[in-house]
Structure 1
């Protein structure tokens, strides 16, 4: 009898993690004091790790409705694509957000289509990305740029936003060896940085180049979290306790704040979330106290 109840329990957990929780999308809200004195507040929508497949209609509806939120800037930290045919539905559901100012970097899944693999491998090691079929990355990034979003893949720029002069820098995905910090110079202007994967080497490099606010994704918040223990992995060298949310960092006397979004999706070959709801982050950046 005990074995029957155990089987029922495991089945219930599997149904919750595979069918229910990974579609319980949530907006997590936070205020961070990081802007220079006298700056106006900036409402930032951080979105990433969408991993969109064409049949994911509820995810597409959630993304379309995000534009109803008070947003001054969209920060997209990559891994938008989860299927070779995902670009048309991705651009359709992002269209309302693409009418707002935005910046973006790519993740590995914006270059390579997902391939079948053991889902457990994600939890127990930092998984390599199989070099599978190439996706139409330029088609996606060109659409973003035509809408006015700024491409920060190993690039930097300065813009006026909500009355604030801000420098933005970013790197392409370090997880697949596409990052190039040498392209980014240091600056005294208040700087916001983007990276898909929050490897410590990248956090250090961005902080030393003046970034005071860093946005990242990639970790899926651990994707599977356990009570008390939390995330089992970040799929990088970032410590597990920083798998999602906000944390402070210091490198050689320079400080930065890191925001890691748990993302909205997962590989179609690892369709599970447990104690880790899919999310976007709506962050109000405020002047320092």
Structure 2
């Protein structure tokens, strides 16, 4: 005797169950995990023997809009960890009205030594599109027809530099962090072809206590150039850690040239350490995170 075909009612109940699970997952990703900030903590042995600890706070990808008070307050609270150096790897803005809220979020951190680079979303406002499109199409194509920036990045840059932070967009310099000398170099966002590594090329200062390379998007070609020039620690963002990840598999796509296994966290790039932040925010066009909580990181650089 053959199996009985499923009834229309049972099919309907199954479809309703799947829809309910999907709705619950979307609600979790958009309302819970997106606002469930965490602070990651790493120890990296790079300093000369007997050096004091150097604490770096790495911020990335806030994509801030004025109404995100929970994020603003959480970032302000990071000053309690007393970082010696703050590094912002870009994509801080997601609105023309977000500069003052972002400066409010930095708050007391602006009184500490800091450096920054920009990402594409500090220059270009979000455009509404299919929120899942990044799974099959790199977002750099969204900027190929938008040549004129429409966000007030100059205002943000002026505010951070007036506080004493160093602009590392295709620039290099030196920062005093605590009692240590840090040689720093950075590039603008390669995702929109504004990186100009040739402007900073050459060996990093061998006399510095630490040599730090800073960028928004962790493109392998630039990572390798920083490493070849002797930068010991490389900091980047951009990937959002994949933003939508799968349990047991992790990052689906990186939206750049780096492999997905290095899309977030601490790893190696040849002789250098690399930290890629999964970031704090999301684009307003895709306000969800799944198995990829928003984050900042404290990197305690200690003696070898």
Partner Cα distance (1:35, 1:178) in 2: 32
Deviation readout 1:9-34 (Å, 9 max, x if unpaired): 11110100111110001111111112
- Where has structure 1 moved over 4 Å in runs of 4 or more? none
Partner Cα distance (2:94, 2:135) in 1: 19
Asked whether the equivalents of residues 113 and 175 of structure 2 are also in contact (C-alpha less than 8 Å), the reply is no
Count the aligned residue pairs. Answer: 284
Q: Which runs of 5+ in 1 are unaligned?
A: none
Instruction: Give runs of aligned pairs for residues 153-232 of structure 1, distance below 5 A.
Output: 153-184=169-200, 185-187=202-204, 188-189=206-207, 190-232=210-252
SS of corresponding position for 1:80: coil
Higher Rg of the two aligned structures: 2
**Worse-superposed segment, 37-46 or 195-204:** 37-46
Partner of 2:71: 59
Output the TM-score relative to the length of structure 1: 0.95
Partner Cα distance (2:112, 2:287) in 1: 31
Partner of 1:241: 261
Deviation readout 1:212-265 (Å, 9 max, x if unpaired): 100000000100110111001111010011110011112xxxx11000111110
SS of corresponding position for 1:211: coil
Q: What is the aligned counterpart of 2:157 among 129, 141, 144?
A: 141
Is 1:283 aligned to 2:299, yes or no? Answer: yes
**Worse-superposed segment, 173-182 or 62-71:** 62-71
Is 1:102 aligned to 2:122, yes or no? Answer: no
SS of corresponding position for 1:96: helix
Asked whether the equivalents of residues 125 and 233 of structure 1 are also in contact (C-alpha less than 8 Å), the reply is no
Partner of 1:18: 30
